[in-house]
Every structure is written in structure tokens, then in C-alpha cells.
A and B are shown apart, each in its own frame.
Chain A
Amino acid sequence: MNDGVPILTAMTLTPWIGGCLLVGLGARHRSLARGVGLGVSLITLALGFLAWAGFDPGEGGMQWVERHSWIPGLGVEYVVGVDGLGLAMVALTVLLVPMALLVSWTLTERVPLYFGLVLWLEAGLIGTFTALNFFHWFLFWELCLIPAFFLIRLWGGPDRGSAATQFFVYTMAGSVALLLAFLALFLATGTFDFGRLAELGGRGGWAARFEENLDWGGVSGSTLARLVFLGAFLGFAVKVPVMPFHTWLPSAYAEAPTGTTMLLTGAMSKMGVYGILRILIPLFGAEARALLAPLLWLAVAGGVIAAATAFAQRDLKRMFAYSSVNHLAYCLLGIFAAVGAGGEAGRLDPERSMALGGVVVQMFNHGITAAALFAFVAFLEQRSGGRRGIEDFGGLRRRVPVFCGLMGAAVFASLGLPGLSGFVGEFMIFKGSFALEPAAAATAALGLLLTAVFLLTFLHRVFHGPLNPRWAGMADLGGRELLAVVPAMALMLVIGVVPQALLGVLKATVTRWVGDWGP
């Protein structure tokens, strides 16, 4: 129906071209750069609306598909398309970028370059979420790294050098592992297309295929399949991140300029989970099932530890950074729980659907919520001259009530208060997972508890109590800032109250997954 219409390519190219224009501008044209940057991101947002509107919720497969031949000799095609997951992620991206730009409005140094890099990052993100052939999926995956690196390196905090380097090198190392894994797959099948690869090897077919095509002297097909799976998993694990591959994250999030951190946590972190859902599980369902227990408990343990670590943080950005790790761990819980129970067809299907649906919802919601939280931290920083320790504030409620109200709402959404978006995702994940993997789910629930503790503590320390005299003159949220966060807040409310708005487009996709990821 909507195949062949190049709306996805347009959505990828528009910010790319915008970025090229901006990067070429001289550093003096600040207002022009801001205007152009915001304008381009809004155009992309409009395109995103169009894509959403034209999306058929009843169809579980890929829509808006475009297919062109590129390097036939290597089985490489330019193929893009979205299903429910892809659409949700693309929507998340196009929503977050204008927000991030508005939050970064007060930047003064080399503004055109900054805005240009953000737009390039947007292009890379949209490209990753829409690509269906490994070659250019990998291209966009890697291309996100450069703008992110420079955003951290040039506008970041005092320790930005090592933070940026760590970020880049870790991610690249993971990417190399991912690349090697996919090359093995290519050798066995001659294609890089995700759909084809899933068909050929998804239901435990790799062992046989490897034995047939890759004669590696003695290593059995199934061992090889697991090694390849682990290589691919490593690539995604660094991105999500899964403990213990997370050590790059706190510094990167803390040192990056906060507008960038919004994108890092809101969209880039979703690249990892997206990768697992789009690539890892469809291709390696059987291997994942074989290694399920360690993967599951790795995710869960990571989540709980992250929450505990967040509690110990003094720097607000680090706190929310660890909180991100925790929230994404729930996604992994949901995924692995759903995968693990796939041994028998039909059994526990509703629970699996619920868990998987919850995962995507959580991805979307966390993106919005975390971005909003970091936006608020940015506003704090901009008012406090860069300070963002939890002890630095106090009693702000009296001085900036609107700010506190909105940030409080965002905090509660992050907590999972019913009525706000965060609840929906977490509820669905836990409801589904309790039926599938009760022990793991129960342990993960500890994380919920810890999250509640540190978030409430945060609220108390920063907003309640006696007003810290230093901030007696703090200004409340201005027009631009409201413009940045109000749409997000609105979304949090809408999705909390009417989750169908999001779930509608996901249902068909999730159903298809549950069917496909069977034995």
C-alpha cells in the first residue's frame, strides 16, 4: 500500500542535508543556524506525522518499504521499511530532536556546527531505525558515532576528552564484533538482508548451515552459531548498555552537553534494544533460547545494580544516567522472558505479547521521559551556572513552582505512577514476565523499589525543604523552555491515560513476532 513512497529516505535525507548546510555556515550566524536547525527538525517531524498517518495498524509486516539494488556482488541492497517498532522509534527520534535543539538554544560557541551535528545524528538515528539490510544499517549505526563524539568532545564538560574517547572506542569495539558476526552469516548465506537471514537461520537453522558452509576444522555448527550470536550480542550489549559493558555511559552522559545527553539517552540508547529486537532475536532465536538464563540474569542484575548505583550518585546527570540503564534493563527482561518461553507454540502467547508490547512502549516512554528529565537538569544548569549536584539545591518549589511541577510530573512518570506513561510500559512488562520468568521478574522489581527511593529522595532534596538562599533569584521556566518540554509532558499524560494511541500501531507487529519467534 505505501510501499515505494520514499518517505523514509526523505526523513533520513532531510536532516542530513540540513546538517551539511549548517556545518558549512560560519560561526557567527548563530540565530540563522538555530532557526534553520529547528526548522529542518520540524520538517522532519512533519514527515514523521505523515508516515504515522499513513501507517496501517492492522498489518504486522514492514511498511513504507523501498528497495533498490546497490552492490549485488555482496548481496547488498538499499532496503528500508518500518513496522510498529520502527515507526515508534522513528517517531521518538523526530520528537526528541526539536526538544533537544530548543534546550540547547542558549549555546554560544560554534552554534551552527552544534546544530548541524545534531541534525546529522538525527539522520543517523532515523537511518538505523529504518534500514533492513545489514550493510547500510551498519553504515548508519556507525555514522551516529561521529556526531556524538564531536558533540561530547567540543562542547562537553571538563572531562570530556576521555569520556568521548571511551564512548567511541567501546562502541567501535562492539561494532567490530557485530561486523565479524555478520560476515560469518554472510558467508553462510550470501545475503545481508535481515528478512532473508531470519528466514534462513532464525529457527535454529544456523548450526546446520554453518556446518554446511563454513568448514572450520572441528568446531561444531552449534558452537559456532553460539559464538556468532555472542559476537552480535556484544555489539548491542555495549550500546544498550548491559552491565558490565556500560562503563562508558556515566562519563559520556555526564560530560556531554545536556542537550546532547537528551538524545543520547532518549534515542541512541534505544538503538541497542532496537537492534536486539530487530536483528538479534529474529536471527538467533534458538541460540538466545539456549543461552537464556545467563542473558536474563545479566540483564536483571544489571538493572538492579544500576538502580542501586543511581541512588549513590551526587551528580544529577550521573544519577539519571544510571537510572536509564535501569529502565532499559526492564526492556531486556521483557525480551528475554518472551524469547525464553517460546519453546512450545501457543503456550503463554498472551503473556509474551504483553511483555513484548510493554518493551516497545517502555522504549518509547523512557525516551520521552528521560529526555524530559535531562531537559530539566539542563534548565537547572543554565540557571545555576553549571552546578548540578544533588546537594546544591533545595526548596526550589517556592521559587520556581512551574518548573517543580513539571519536573515532578516527569519524575513520577519515570517512577511508573499510574496515569502517566511510564506505568503502562512497566506494567505490561512485569505482568507478562511474572508469568514467564517469575524469579527474574521478582528480582527486577527490586529495581522498581530502588528507583522509587532515589527519585523521591531527589525530589525531596532539590525541591522541598528550606530554600537555598543562593537561588533566591532563580527564574521560572520561560517560553522557549516550556515549548521544549510541554509537548513531552503532554505525551506522557496522553499515553498514560490512553495507551491505545501507541499500542494501536504495535499490536499487529507484536503478534507477528510472537508467531515468528516460535520454536
Chain B
Amino acid sequence: MLAWTLYVSFAGAAVLACLPRRRAAAARWLALGVALLGAVFALAGVSEHKPGAGLETITRLPWIPFLGADYHLAVDGISVTLILLTAVAAVAGILFSWNIEERVPAFFAFYLALIGGVYGVFLSCDLLLLFVFYEIAIIPKYFLIAIWGSTRKEYGAMKLALYSFGGSALVLVGIIAAFVVAAQQTGVATFSIEALSRVAFPAAFQRWAFPVVFVGFAILAGLWPFHTWAPTGHVAAPTGASMLLAGVVMKLGAYGCLRVAMGLFPAGLEVWRGAFAVLAVVGIVYGALAALVQRDFKFVIGYSSVSHMGFVLLGLMTLNEIGVSGAVLQMFSHGVIAGLLFGVVGRMVYDRTHTRDLSELEGLRLSRALPFAAVTFVIASAASMGLPGFSGFVAELQVLVGSWRAFPAAALVAGVGIVVGVAYLLRALQSAFFTDDPGFAGGAGVAVGSGSRGVLGSVSMPERVGAVLLMAVTLAVGLYPRWLLDWIVPAVHSMLEGLGRGGVS
């Protein structure tokens, strides 16, 4: 059932690629339909998978027998969580892209192809298959940004594509090396992630293979200092694409780090753990500080993504059940929250005001002109700050606990990062929405959205639905995280057991 999410997305992309340019409305509804169908399949498939059931195979067909690569799709609790995230983000992203006017069918074709690739990565249990889906996702990203983007779109698109491709080049080196070494060690040529995780690669080999593969994936996850593509790329991208990029695609990198780099090379992980934890924490603080000084609203959110992904990577490095579960939960939570933030900044504000400069926005009194956007951004900021009641709090709490145990100093620095996070979000919130109009104490009624830009259109229905969907999800997970944790924790537990056997203390 879960595999249908994949097929449906690619089929939808193929159909949309053939639609002529003028059929914009048909394209939108088709894309939405496909995304909803994918979400239905995702939910149905997820309900079939019992929490704590371990890795369950969905499909396994021989694909390239002479290399031992199978078409092997399987899920465990971690994949399930991320598939749900993709489903939600896909629907919301399409809703927020409702106003695209140029070449609509092509836009949604690329969009659905990207989503299909993402589903594929989360479903794959074969290393070659995972890599194939991982790479498939790169080209739609390039075109989505280069054609429909804004600020410096061609530069941003190229930078993003090249960094992603460079990262996957590193991963490819690791994959080939691992395959060859495993084949020579065990006599069996296979690409199955399960099987390769059980192979005890030589320690010297792991010592270089792990950082190569980890960095390869971590580039896409926005590890400092390889993160520079992220703010540029996300800002250049159209809103729906930014939501998907920051929300889901960065999680591909983190997922790869967890499943492939950590899963295959535990001894190497043990050696490099501390170094990457330090980089993660630097990313948390650097991202937050950079966000604090940005003049462009969207750049604030772009850097905040780098900061939040730092939490994910820190959580992964703690190697205890609570920290790693927190990292996975943070992947889900940030995916939803980033979607909300970009939705407000890109779609609700920028598409109407055509400016993202905070000092220009200050004069526009958006809290009156776009009240729905203001409320949504307040909620999104609260969630992003890690206020309790929203999903980010539980996730960051778990990562901090895990970090306290493993790297106490890192937890303290991360705490500082949280406070800076509060500061930059407040700054953006105030500048963009709640600036110093004369105040209610003295001011007479001010014309709605007055200023040289005239009246701003109110927030449309697709945007409202998308925003409400995302807000509901982050609230639900924040108040009742068990829904996801029941899946995540057993999966993390068995993964850590496996790592322990491989030599991680």
C-alpha cells in the first residue's frame, strides 16, 4: 500500500508533463488530487504497519541480479514518520502554490516528480535504489527554482543542484567502496541495507568511509559549514518549492545520515561522533545568529532551517534512544513548521507585497491588512521557538536530554541557540507584522494596508486550508506526541541495538 504513494506521484508527474500549457486549472486540481491520493495511501499504509514491528518489507523484486541489487521497499517506524511528513508537506505545498500562473502543468509535474523521489528514498531498503531516488530528486529541484523562482533564481538553483550533486558524489564513492569491500569480505554481492548493516567492515575502512558518506548526506541536511546552498536556494525558490526543500528534502539528507552512514559504519561513527556533534552545535548557533541579522524576511527563515537541522544532527550524534528519537521527531516537526513559515513569508506576504525587506514591511501594517497571515505567523513562530504545546518543544526537549547525557556542553550551547531563536523570530514577527503604528490608545482608525501599495488581497482559501492543516498537525503532535513516538522509539531502539553490535558504545 505504501508503495502506491510512489507510483501515484510519478504517474501524476508524467500525466502533468503532457498537459498543454493552458490547462492551468486542470493541472492544479490534478496535482492536488494526486497529492491527496498519495496522502491517503500513506495513511492507509501506515495504519497497516504496527508500531514496534521492525523493518517490514513491502515489495521485493530482483532488479539487477548480477549486482545483487533488488527493488526492495521496506519501512520501519522512522520511515513511516517521514512518509507522513511528506504526505502532509506535499498537500500543503500544492495548496500554497495555487497561485502560480506561468506554465502551471510543468510546475506541478516537477513538483510531483520531486515528491515521488522523496517517497522513494524513505521507502527504499536497497542502497542502490535509495541512491537512485535520492538523485532523481535533484533535477526537479533545479528546474523548480530556475524557472519559477525569484531572487537570483538561476544562481540559487545551480548552487543547490551542484551542492546536492557533489554531496551525492561523495555518497556514491562510499557506496561503491562499501559494496566492493562487503562482496570481497562475505563473498556475497548485495546492496541490501539490512545485509550491509550486518557486515563488519574493517575499522580502518570505516574510519574514512563514515565521514565521506556522512558529509555527503549531511551537505543536503545543511550541516555547517556545508550549508551555504540552503539559504540562497530556499530564498530563490518559489514558495511551494521552499516548503518542500526546507521541510522535506533537507530531511532526506538527515535520513541518509542515519540509515546509511550510521547504519553501515558504526565503528567509524564512534570515532567521528564528537567532531560532528560540534559541527551540529555550531550550526545551531550560527544559523540563529545569522537569522538575527538578516534584512530579508525569507533569509531569516532560510537560516532558521539551518539552525533547526543542527538540532537534528546533534540528536543523531547523541546515540541514545531519547536523543535519536528526538532527532527523528524534530525532522517531522521542523518539516511542518518550516512549511508554515515559508508559506506565510513567501506566499501570504511576498506574493502580495512584492517585498521581503523587513524595513519596507514595517511600513505596511500587515497585522491589519493580513490578519490571517499575522496569526499564522505568530503560531508558526511559537512553534519554531520551541514553545510547549507545539511539536518543536517535545522534539527539542528530547534532543536536549539526549545531549545532556552524551555531550553536556553541547546542550548548554544549544540552549543558547534556543534563546537566540526566540530573539530572531520576535524581531521578524515585530518588523513584518506588528510595527509601531500609533497604537490603539491614541490612534484613530488607520486605513487597512495603507501606504503606496494600496489594498492587499486577503488570504485565499487554498492558503488558509494549507495553513490550518499544518498548524493542526504541529499542535496535535505537540500535545499528543505519542502518536509518532510510539512508532519512532521502537525503531530507534532496534537501530541502536544494531549499532551497539557493530561497535558503538
Contact = CB atoms under 8 A, between A and B. Distances in A.
A177 B415 contact: yes
A349 interface: no
A138 B412 contact: no
A186 B416 CA distance: 20
Interface string B304-337: 0000000000000000001001000000000000
Interface residues of A, number: 45
Contacts of A177: 415
Chain B, interface residues (CB within 8 Å), range: 35 or more
Nearest to B489: A73
Given A155-B440, A156-B439, A179 B419 contact: no
A161 B423 CA distance: 13
Given A73-B489, A142-B388, A161 B430 contact: yes
Contacts of B393: 139
A386 interface: yes
Contacts, number: 101
Interface stretch (B53-61, B88-96, B132-140, B397-405): B397-405
B419 A216 contact: no
A310 B401 CA distance: 42
Given A176-B415, A180-B412, A184-B404, A146 B378 contact: yes
Nearest to A136: B388
Given A72-B482, A138-B388, A146-B378, 15 more contacts: A70-B482, A71-B485, A74-B322, A74-B397, A109-B443, A139-B389, A165-B430, A168-B422, A173-B419, A176-B418, A176-B419, A180-B400, A183-B411, A187-B405, A257-B441
B471 interface: no
Interface string A45-84: 0000000000000000000000000111110000000000
Contacts of B411: 180, 183
Contacts of A184: 404
Contact of A73 (B404, B405, B434, B485): B485
Contacts of A153: 430, 434
Contact of A107 (B412, B434, B440): B440
A381 to B, nearest CB: 9
A169 B426 contact: yes
B39 interface: no
A479 interface: no
A176 B398 CA distance: 14
10 contacts: A74-B322, A143-B387, A154-B440, A156-B441, A168-B422, A169-B426, A176-B419, A180-B412, A187-B404, A214-B404
B423 A169 contact: yes
Interface in B357-409: 378, 382, 385, 387-389, 393-394, 397-398, 400-401, 404-405, 408
A110 interface: yes
Contacts of B426: 165, 168-169
A135 interface: yes
Nearest to B375: A23
Given A143-B389, A146-B387, A179 B405 contact: no
Contacts of A216: 408
A126 to B, nearest CB: 15
A108 interface: yes
A157 interface: yes
A160 interface: yes
Contact of B482 (A71, A145, A173): A71
A325 to B, nearest CB: 23
A140 B434 CA distance: 24
Contacts of A70: 480, 482
Interface string B411-454: 11001101100110011001000111001111100000000000
A158 interface: yes
B268 to A, nearest CB: 23
Interface string B3-28: 00000000000000000000000000
B419 A172 contact: yes
A145 B485 CA distance: 27
Contact of B388 (A72, A110, A143, A160): A143
B481 interface: yes
A160 B422 contact: no
B194 to A, nearest CB: 26
Contacts of A156: 439, 441
A141 B393 CA distance: 13
A179 B387 contact: no
Contacts of A214: 404-405, 408
A176 to B, nearest CB: 5
A150 B393 CA distance: 21
B427 to A, nearest CB: 8
A142 B427 CA distance: 19
A176 B388 CA distance: 12
Nearest to A111: B440
Given A187-B404, A187-B405, A154 B434 contact: yes
A154 B442 CA distance: 12
- 3 smallest CB-CB distances across A and B, nearest first, come from A109-B440, A139-B388, A172-B422
Contact of B398 (A74, A136, A143): A74
A73 B488 CA distance: 11
